Amino acid sequence: MTATETVKVNERELVLDILLLVTRDGVHCHLAMGQVLEKYQFLEKKSRAFISRLTQGTLERMIELDYVIDCYSKTPVKKMKPVIRCILRSGVYQLLYMNSVPASAACNEAVRLAGKRGFSGLKGFVNGVLRTISRAQASGELQKKYPDEKKEPIQAFSIRNSIPEWLVQKWVDTYDYATAKSICEAFLKERPTAIRVNTDKISAEELTEELRTAGVTVEPVESCPDALFISGYDYLNCLPAFARGDFYVQDLSSMQVALAADVQPGWNVIDVCAAPGGKAIHVAQFLWGTGHVEARDLTEYKVDLILDNIDRCQVENMSAKVWDATVRDEDAVGTADLVIADLPCSGLGVLHSKPDIKYNMSPEQMQELAELQREILTVVADYVKPGGRLVYSTCTVNRAENEDNAAWFADTHPEFVKKSEKQILPSDRQDGFYIAVFDRKR
């Protein structure tokens, strides 16, 4: 890519492409971001940071952005053309949350983008809505449009934190208002990248020194000696240590699965829903070159992701295969010292990195997922040998999928004893996660 071609790249246009992929075409946020940004890795760090911030922020704040737009637009957001809807959302996000962007630039670039995408007839509409919102924000009028938190606490909190009202109410009912508030606010806080050191290849101290020499900000994690927080890097693929497999990007809460499993050398392990393989590789690391980990998932695509990470991290005592976890594998019955069942779930604990989930999930889907989890647990429990262990985990914050399912499993499978369970709530350092450990009686 030449320097001339680089100049032609319009950052806001790339943001629009990602937003359309997510909101119109149904592509998952992290996949859409990766798909576009990987293509434009030649861009300067500042440009890619702007694209990431504007895209992620717009998706995180969509309920609030739509509310603000509806306050000042005669055409409701839901009735707008997808392109105009996305242009206005990203424009309003810049006005409300990006102080480094002049209001005039946010408005002018949105108008220019509308024309470039074939909506010249709506340039005046886009300009009028954004400039009216800009003036309302500057005068303080905009804040008066928000619901009163004392009179309408659920609606007010939903809009301020861009969490659907039904979900806010669910967490308030499950915990309390203060806890629900801390959960929702955690998703909107900036967070460093958590990585797990591949201690088979390098020590945490050696990796820290190498990364800091490369200009990366590195912070140790007291609760997990093999974990580090990193920030200030350009992009992962530019770090030689990442390419060599010296570390794996993994959230702190996800690392707790292998720690809770208390893996012993020589164990035979089956991870039934393993993609992209982080937990399985972590477990293999604790085997110290002994035993074996078989990582499974539903499709060739997902298994290829696992195989890529096995190869990058150079894990020798691990393999991967395509297998539907709902289908009983007779050859696996009674063979595993450890079964990891990190099952498909509503994903409500990972809204920090996958904000689109909250707009697409529903109570009905959550109930269906809880039932799917029970179906899979019933199948894979038979793979655990007497004296073996089953670890059930999800990346969600929902009793039906977590504590209720663990209680159901204990009641319906008396051959297992629940050893421990833990609901990790989202914070400014880690995702929400649930882990339950069951031991099979000898």
Active site residues: 395
182 membership: H or E segment, kind and range: helix 177-186
The residue written with tokens 């005669």 in the block is 74
User: How many beta carbons lie within 10 A of that of residue 140, not counting itself?
Assistant: 8
Task: Work out the burial of residue 52: count CB atoms within 10 Å of its CB; fewer than 13 is exposed, 13-18 middle, 19 or more buried.
Answer: middle
Closest CA to 232 of 221, 244, 245, 219: 219
Whole-angstrom distance, CA of residue 29 vs CA of residue 355: 7
394 — phi, psi (to 5°)? -145, 160
Whole-angstrom distance, CA of residue 345 vs CA of residue 349: 10
Whole-angstrom distance, CA of residue 123 vs CA of residue 121: 6
Beta bridge partners of 418: 438
Closest CA to 36 of 3, 9, 8, 60: 9
How far is C-alpha 105 from the chain's CA centre?
A: 31
How far is the CA of 98 from the CAs of 43, 93, 190, 259, 372, in angstroms? 20, 7, 14, 40, 42
DSSP letters of 191-258?
A: -PEEEEE-TTT--HHHHHHHHHHTT-EEEE-TT-TTEEEEES-S-GGG-HHHHTTSEEE--HHHHHHH
